[in-house]
Amino acid sequence: MNIHFTQPTLIVVAGPTASGKTAAAIQLANYFNTVVVSADSRQFYSEMSIGTAKPSATELAAAPHYFIDSHSITEPFSVGDFEKQCLQLLDELFKVHNVIILAGGSGLYIKAVTEGFDNLPSADTHIRDKLNSELDDKGILALQERLKVVDSVYYNEVDINNPQRIIRALEVYEATGKPFSSYRTATTNTRPFNIIKLGLDMDREQLYNRINKRVDIMVEQGLVEEVKALLPYRHLNALNTVGYSEIYDHFDGKSDLPAAIAVIKQNTRRFAKRQLTWFRKDKEMIWLNAADENLTDNMLSAIESSINR
């Protein structure tokens, strides 16, 4: 198949966790002799590897990757920062490559690069402190329920086990009276490159089985030890995420290890469902069966069809 690109093109490989995005992105990068840019909001951090399912050393050697181990958990790094840095990187990469692969499951980060990220109100320290106190006093469930009432759209998309994401959304609502999700509906910013979006999905039972197996492998690889080593940093936003917060609960005596692992699997399955909810709202997404043995050929056919439309 001889695909001819008439302009710089960003090929997005998106989908839920454990759907095979890394392998698919590398296949495309090798085919087009190009690079992979990660859009995974936790794989940026050099201190977090096992729990974030980073590409293996073999995978990283198979194609050049960017935004893997690029930042420290101690560095503030927002989606707005990612948009700015990624666009600067793409500008340089497109001087060398006519095609670049953007791969990840963080819908907000992919949206930031492909469409632009709306200007959210600046943080209100007073409101945030109040919400953090409520989190300490009443637990995350109370904040989850409030978010469900004031912004059901974002509630159905966000990782509700991440307290910082919930607090940020409630903070915006309390400061402006407008739901957080309403700030993500602005006019799309035009990018100086073509964009093709490929979405990977598979049978739900098969996906959930892959998630469960992946968590077991993470534990075998030393997830508990990795989380323990990061105990001094557990207050940081980067560590308020699935795979880490459940182990911290175990360390706090709230559950035994088998129960914590079971909750990681459950929360990861829920997270995958929310990822799919987000991506399915994107009308430009071309959906492919990630379990198809002809996936690479199917991706190339979809790319060719998109170009020739």
Angstrom distance (rounded) from CA 77 to CA 48: 15
The first and second tokens of residue 76, run together, are 């503030």
Provide the 3-class DSSP secondary structure of residue 13: strand
Average confidence (pLDDT) over 13-25? 97
Average confidence (pLDDT) over 158-172? 84
Please report, for residues 54, 138, 160, 238, 285, the alpha-carbon distance to residue 143 in angstroms, rounded to integers and kept in the order given. Answer: 30, 8, 9, 19, 32
The pLDDT score that the predictor gives to residue 176 is 85
Judged against a pLDDT cut of 70, whether residue 188 lies above it is answered with: no
The pLDDT score that the predictor gives to residue 191 is 93
Q: Which residue has the higher pLDDT, 306 or 129?
A: 306
- R_g of the chain computed on alpha carbons: 19
Name the band, by pLDDT with cuts 50, 70 and 90, for residue 118: low
Q: What are phi and psi of 288, to 5 degrees?
A: -135, 150
Of 63-67, 106-110, 200-204, the least confident: 106-110
Q: Report which secondary-structure segment, H or E, holds 132.
A: helix 125-138
Q: Which CATH number fits domain 9-118+189-219+276-308: 3.40.50.300, 3.30.1490.120, 1.10.240.10, 3.30.413.10?
A: 3.40.50.300
Q: What is the 3-state secondary structure (H, E, C) of 259-303?
A: HHHHHHHHHHHHHHHHHHHHHHCCCCEEEEECCCCCHHHHHHHHH
Name the band, by pLDDT with cuts 50, 70 and 90, for residue 133: confident
Judged against a pLDDT cut of 70, whether residue 75 lies above it is answered with: yes
DSSP conformational letter for 191: P
Angstrom distance (rounded) from CA 111 to CA 118: 10
| pTM recorded for the entire structure | 0.83
Average confidence (pLDDT) over 265-278? 94
pLDDT tens per residue across span 47-56: 999 999 999 9
The pLDDT score that the predictor gives to residue 63 is 98
Average confidence (pLDDT) over 271-282? 93
Judged against a pLDDT cut of 60, whether residue 167 lies above it is answered with: yes
Longest dimension (CA), the chain: 61
Span(s) in the chain for CATH 1.10.20.140: 125-184
Sheet holding 194-201, edge to edge: 65-66, 36-38, 99-104, 9-14, 194-201, 285-289
Judged against a pLDDT cut of 90, whether residue 177 lies above it is answered with: no
Name the band, by pLDDT with cuts 50, 70 and 90, for residue 309: confident
The pLDDT score that the predictor gives to residue 187 is 54
Judged against a pLDDT cut of 80, whether residue 185 lies above it is answered with: no
Average confidence (pLDDT) over 60-89? 93
CATH code for 125-184?
1.10.20.140
Helices 107-114 & 79-93 angle (0-180, nearest 10): 50
Average confidence (pLDDT) over 105-131? 83
pLDDT tens per residue across span 31-44: 999 999 999 999 99
Average confidence (pLDDT) over 170-191? 79
Span(s) in the chain for CATH 3.40.50.300: 9-118+189-219+276-308
The pLDDT score that the predictor gives to residue 184 is 65
Of 29-38, 155-164, 184-193, the least confident: 184-193
Name the band, by pLDDT with cuts 50, 70 and 90, for residue 64: very high
Angstrom distance (rounded) from CA 37 to CA 111: 14
Distance between alpha carbon 309 and the CA centroid of its chain, in Å?
A: 29
Q: Which residues contact 141 (CB under 8 A, 6 or more apart)?
A: none
Place of tokens 């590409």: 55
DSSP conformational letter for 222: T
Average confidence (pLDDT) over 283-305? 96
Angstrom distance (rounded) from CA 174 to CA 131: 10
Judged against a pLDDT cut of 60, whether residue 2 lies above it is answered with: yes
Provide the 3-class DSSP secondary structure of residue 221: helix
